[in-house]
Amino acid sequence: MRVLVTGHKGYIGTVLTPLLTSAGHEVHGLDSDIFSRCTYGEMPAAVPETIKDVRDAELSDVEGFDAVLHLAGLSNDPMGDLNAELTYEINHHASVRLAELAKKAGVGRFVFSSSCSNYGAGGEGLLDEQGDLNPVTPYGKSKVYVEQDLSKMASDSFTPVYLRNATAYGVSPRLRFDLVLNNLTAWAHTTGKVHLKSDGSAWRPLVHIEDISRAFIAVMSAPKEKVSDRPFNVGVPDENFRIKEIAGLVKETVPGSELRFADGASADTRNYRVDCSLLPKTVPAFDPQWTVAKGVKELYDSYQKVGVTLEEFEGERYMRLAHLQKLMKDGILDDQLRHIAKP
């Protein structure tokens, strides 16, 4: 298939793109590349690409593709809180416009990178795809709005699919340290402390970015009648953990580390357990390979090899929100996250 990946230079995109290429697909990327200065390790082999803000996408950018895999956007709750209206502009309105262009161009399949943040304050029960959506942040709300708008566009010739990814983890050339497992492992590696910023009581489903990538590839090629206009929770059954349980796994993996709670640590309003059994039942080609325990070791081994420091992962180099704020301060991005200077 000829595939357009938006956000191909991001945390997941730099892992998804080489998997698509190795599977024999012809891949083109579209990305504003605003995180070019926080690369971790080597970038994957280059693919044909368009360096462009997704808000500026044109019909010509999506013409000739069999599928669009849409990952581009502001990628987490703190970044979304930076400017709620900007979050809706990029994550919601630009996503819907991209889908409209794709449909007009004759693209058959549009796979949207949604999120289990849709469930927000989901409580203690195990939520499947029919569970109530209760997002508590602009980021989560933007994902819900896109699903709702794309659903209205579904037709015999246009197949939107919504992948509600669990909380991601894993090593990437554009590594994020603002994700719980990546962050806790980095704290343990650099300080010997598994540093909890909440009371650790909240639930999270977790999934490795390689398995998220496998989900995209699987639904991209699945029979239309199996996936059209359907949401799927993307994760591994039984990989729901309380934050303090995740911290315990990190403590077991990083020698000599111990738990530490930040001053004033309190309960996190984002709290949800998710049933991820539907996707592998519906699309057997999706076969996740990772567990959280295995992921902690991958992260720890990588941090040791690269020599990550506390100042790097908690500072402007790698922390997404801090990095954006520095780019604005340095006059590289304006307050609408558009390039002023060359990336």
Q: Give the pLDDT of residue 187.
A: 95
What pLDDT, on a 0 to 100 scale, did the predictor assign at position 337?
92
- CA distances from residue 200 to 116, 195, 243, 245, 285 in whole angstroms, order as listed: 18, 10, 5, 8, 34
Query: What are the pLDDT digits (tens) for 221-263?
Result: 999 999 999 999 999 988 999 999 999 999 999 999 999 887 7
Could you tell me if 17 and 47 are in contact, meaning their C-beta atoms sit under 8 angstroms apart? yes
Above 60 in pLDDT, residue 343?
no
pLDDT digits (tens, 9 = 90+) for 261-302: 877 766 676 778 999 999 999 999 999 999 999 999 999 999
Beta strand pairing call for 203-208 and 240-242 = antiparallel
SS3 call for 239: coil
Helix/strand/coil percent split, the chain, to 5: 40, 20, 35
**What is the reported pLDDT for 112?**
98
Buried-state track 104-120, b at ≥16 Cβ within 10 A, e below 16:
ebebbbbbbbbbbbbbb
Task: Look at the alpha carbons of 132, 91, 112, 206 in this order and tell me if their dihedral is positive or negative.
Answer: negative
Per-residue pLDDT of 110-152, as tens digits, reads 999 999 989 877 667 789 999 889 888 899 999 999 999 999 9
Q: What is the mean pLDDT of the chain?
A: 93
* Spatial separation of the C-alpha atoms in residues 270 and 247, rounded to whole Å: 17
Please provide the DSSP assignment of 178-235 as one string.
SSHHHHHHHHHHHHSEEEEEE-S--EEEEEEHHHHHHHHHHHHHS-HHHHTTEEEEES
Distance CA 334, CA 343 (A): 13
User: Confidence band (pLDDT; 50, 70, 90) for 320?
Assistant: confident
Pick 19 or 137 by higher pLDDT: 19
Question: Residue 301 has what pLDDT?
Answer: 98
Q: What is the mean pLDDT of residues 180-186?
A: 96
Structural domains of the chain sorted by starting position, each given as residue range(s) with its CATH number in brackets: 2-329 (3.40.50.720)
* pLDDT (mean) for 171-195: 95
27 close to 3: Cβ distance less than 8 angstroms: yes
Determine the pLDDT at residue 6.
98
Q: What is the pLDDT of residues 303-318, one digit of tens each?
A: 999 999 999 999 998 8
pLDDT at 62 over 90: yes
Q: What is the pLDDT of residue 298?
A: 98
Are residues 103 and 158 in contact, defined by beta-carbon separation less than 8 angstroms?
yes
Distance of alpha carbon 100 from its chain centroid, rounded?
A: 22
